[in-house]
């Protein structure tokens, strides 16, 4: 899913590398040379029985050294594209279904003195 989202985001914005690197875990202290970064990771599971669970996941878009003029529009645009990809995945995937809404939060964090602008898209999948 994360590599597909990377391809969709980069194709939609050809004059700019929207995503350079992807991770399938909540990576910390990633070298700035790997940004812009897209991370997809599980935050929790609620099991109903063996093999049946509701999983909470987050897809985070992280941007460093941002052009502050373009950054607010880019993070919102990226959030909307990620949400669209999540809904599309939830529709076409036969093993999992999307449950509820996709929540998007924007925040700024500091990593070793550098500002990282992060868009977090949180959602739940039922298996």
- Residue 49's H or E segment, with its range, is strand 37-49
Say what the pLDDT of residue 61 is.
94
Task: Please report, in tens digits, the pLDDT of each residue of the chain (127 residues total).
Answer: 788 889 888 988 788 888 999 998 888 888 999 999 999 999 999 999 988 999 999 999 999 877 777 777 888 888 999 999 888 876 667 788 889 999 999 999 988 888 899 999 999 999 8
The CATH number linked to 111 is: 3.30.70
How many folded domains does the chain comprise?
A: 1
Helix, strand, coil proportions of the chain in percent (round to 5)?
A: 30, 45, 25
Cβ pair 122, 56 in contact under 8 A? yes
The closest of 63, 83, 91, 76 to 123, measured between CA atoms, is: 83
Say what the pLDDT of residue 17 is.
87
The whole domain housing 71 covers 2-46+53-126
């Amino acid at each position: 899913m994360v590599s597909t989202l990377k391809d969709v985001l980069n194709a939609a914005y050809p004059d700019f590398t929207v995503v350079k690197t992807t991770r399938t875990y909540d990576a910390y202290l990633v070298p700035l040379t790997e940004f812009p970064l897209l991370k997809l990771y599980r935050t929790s599971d609620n099991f109903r029985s063996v093999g049946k669970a509701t999983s909470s996941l987050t897809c985070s878009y992280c941007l460093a050294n941002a052009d502050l003029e373009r950054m607010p529009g880019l993070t919102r645009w990226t959030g909307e594209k990620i949400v669209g990809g999540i809904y599309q995945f939830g529709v076409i995937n036969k093993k999992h279904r999307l449950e509820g809404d996709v929540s998007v939060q924007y925040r700024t964090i500091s990593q070793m003195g550098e500002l990282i602008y992060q868009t977090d898209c949180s959602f739940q999948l039922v298996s």
